[in-house]
Amino acid sequence: MAEQSTPDRAPRRSGRALRVAALAGAAGLTAFLITSCGSGGGAGSTAENDPAGAKNASVLSASVPDRIVIPDIKVDAPLDTVGLDAQGTMQEPDFAKPKDAAWYKEGPTPGEKGAAAIVGHMDTPQAPEAVFYNLKKLKKDEKIEVHRDDGSTAVFAVDEVDTFKKDRFPTDKVYGDTHGKAELRVITCGGNLTKDRHWDANVVVFAHLVGKE
C-alpha cells in the first residue's frame, strides 16, 4: 500500500475535471475501515462471487451524489460526505445519523472513471439496524442507484459481495485500477464482534455502471 498522505480537499465537483482516487486516498479508506466499526448488536455475512453479466456503460461526467437507493434491501438514504482528517485517515460517517450513508469525496463521483466509494454504518449503539444493516444480502446483478446533483441517476449492477477481515483488507482489489470503467464500492462493517465490541471485518459490494437515468 502506498505511503499515506492527505490529498487536497476537493471542492463541490459538478463539472470538475475527471479524477481517479489516488492510493493515498485508499490508504485513508483502509485506515477508516480498520478502526471505526463499533457495534451494539451482531450479524453474519455472505458473499456472491460471480461477476455480473450486465455490460458496462460509458463513464459519466463528475457530479456530486446526494442519495443512494438499493431497492432489494430497501435502502433509500441521503448521502453526506466524508474526507480525510489531518492525519490522513478517513473520517467516520456521522454516528448521529445512522440511517444516512456518506460518499468519500477524495475519490471519483459515482459514475466517473474509477472506483467511487460510499460507506455507512451497519449498526450503532443507538441504532441496531443502521443504513447498511442488510448490505450483505445483496446478490449479483441487483441494482444500486446513485442520485446526483446534476439531476441524473447513475445505475450500477452488483458484481459480487465479499467480506474481508480488517487485518487482511485487499486495498488494491477494492480501490485499485478499474481499467477505465466506472465502478462503485459500497462498504460497511461485518464479520464477528471482538471483545471490545468492534466488528472484525468489512462487507464490500463491488458494482459497475450499467446506465444513467
- pLDDT by residue (tens digit) across 94-153? 999 999 999 999 999 999 999 999 999 999 888 999 999 999 999 999 999 999 999 999
Predicted pLDDT of residue 139: 97
Predicted pLDDT of residue 150: 97
Q: What would the grid cell of residue 83 be?
A: 474526507
State which of 13-17, 71-75, 94-98, 169-173 shows the largest mean pLDDT: 71-75
Predicted pLDDT of residue 170: 83
Predicted pLDDT of residue 27: 52
> What single letter denotes the amino acid at residue 25?
G
* Residue 51 predicted with pLDDT over 50: no
3-state SS, residue 152:
coil
Q: What is the mean pLDDT of the chain?
A: 79
The 3-class secondary structure across 47-92, one letter per residue, is: CECCCCCCCCCCCCCCCCEEEEEEHHHCEEEEEEEECECCCCCECC
**pLDDT (tens digit per residue) in 145-196:** 999 999 999 999 999 999 988 788 888 888 899 999 999 999 998 877 667 6
Query: How large a percentage of the chain has pLDDT more than 70?
Result: 72
The domains of the chain, with CATH numbers, are: 23-40+52-212 (2.40.260.10)
**Which residues are paired to 190 by β-bridges?**
201
Of 17-26, 78-87, 116-125, minimum mean pLDDT range: 17-26
Q: How far is CA 165 from CA 45, 200, 203, in A?
A: 12, 6, 9
CB-CB contact of 92 with 36 (8 Å): yes
Q: What would the grid cell of residue 24 be?
A: 493515498
**Which residues are paired to 158 by β-bridges?**
207
CB-CB contact of 190 with 138 (8 Å): no
Element (H, E) at 156: strand 153-165
Predicted pLDDT of residue 26: 55
Q: How many CB atoms lie within 10 A of CB 135?
A: 25
Q: What would the grid cell of residue 70 be?
A: 438499493
CB-CB contact of 180 with 113 (8 Å): yes
Is the pTM of the predicted complex or chain greater than 0.75?
yes
